[in-house]
Amino acid sequence: MLTADFLVEARGRQAPLATDRLRGPETVSLLNVWQGSPGAPASAVESLEDGWAWMARLEDGRCYWQVTQDAAGLPGKAGLAAYCVALRGRSALVAELFDGQALIPAQVHARSSTAILAGECVGQDWIRVGDAAMAVDPLSGNGIFQSLSSALQAPVVINTLLRRPERAELARQFHQQRVEQLFLRFARIGRDFYAQEQSRVGQPFWSRRQGWPDAHPLHQAADWQAVRVERRPVLRDGLVDEAEVVVTADQPLGVWHLQGVELAPVVRQIRSGRPVEAVLSGLAGEQQRSVRRWLREQGLAWFETRRR
């Protein structure tokens, strides 16, 4: 048994999951790898009745073909190579991209592609990062980005938990909220990608993913009246601290700075009735332009009225 002051859970999808985890439709990806003839590199994606396939051919002849399908109904390990060959044999795109090697059983790597949010991702003396905290469907976005995102914020959270125990709740809130929001963002991106495949509407594989995780739009419409100032956890000087941020429909975690300008005081002054130009007058030129553009994007109509 190992004893440590702090544990970082970074075992990816192999990490044990809590009972409060959130899982998307059970999904498996089967990656096939073989050596073909050298040639011009190429890649493609195609939808199937019960899944989708990605394929690529490198200049040196290395070939990759991966199919993503429901976990249920797949053959056992011994039958996977033949199963994949049969799928490739029915694809005109495979015939166009690869040579005859594509119809010979190849090495198969089976991996879970189920979208998973681990549930509680941080405690007093432990934290989950990368795929151990959340893992996404390969169609929904860049898994490397989400893994690095949670890993890069982890040192600040750990530093706060160890050095500023009075801010422990803030630090846990900071990490948990960002993991959850990133997960939902990627899940909704995936949902919208699946929904674009209109020729597969009604097929079980596609139907399950075209409505998950929810029906909320990826981007909310701007509404200046809904913009509000709240105190939220932020990163300050290498630690998690609390500050006033501006919460918007599209930024539920809040925005603290823009081009070095704290936005909460700007919003407060405008809401109090002070003219916008007076509020922005003390800012440098580029800062003024950035904040003005941001205010317009939040639905503040003053600028449009002024132009007319």
Assess whether pLDDT exceeds 70 at residue 298: yes
Domain edges within the chain = 7-19+117-211, 27-112, 224-298
User: Topology of 27-112 in CATH?
Assistant: Alpha-Beta Plaits (3.30.70)
Rounded to whole angstroms, the Cα distance separating 169 from 161 reads: 9
Q: What pLDDT is attached to residue 141?
A: 67
35: nearest Cα among 106, 113, 135, 87: 106
Cβ-based neighbour number of residue 272 at 10 Å: 8
Place of tokens 């049969």: 86
In this prediction, residue 194 carries a pLDDT of: 96
Q: Side-chain half-sphere of 125: how many Cα atoms within 13 Å?
A: 4
Of 151, 163, 154, 174, the residue nearest 233 (C-alpha): 174
Residue 308: predicted pLDDT? 43
pLDDT tens-place string over residues 137-170: 988 767 788 778 888 899 999 999 999 999 999 9
What global pTM score does this model have?
Answer: 0.88
Tell whether the torsion through CA atoms of 288, 293, 298 and 302 is positive or negative: positive
Whether the pLDDT of residue 76 is over 70: the answer is yes
The pLDDT value recorded for residue 26 is 96
pLDDT at 305: 42
Residue 269 has pLDDT above 50, yes or no: yes
In whole angstroms, what separates CA 266 from the centre of its chain?
30
Q: Compute CA distances 218 → 148, 251, 271, 301, whole Å.
A: 22, 11, 28, 23
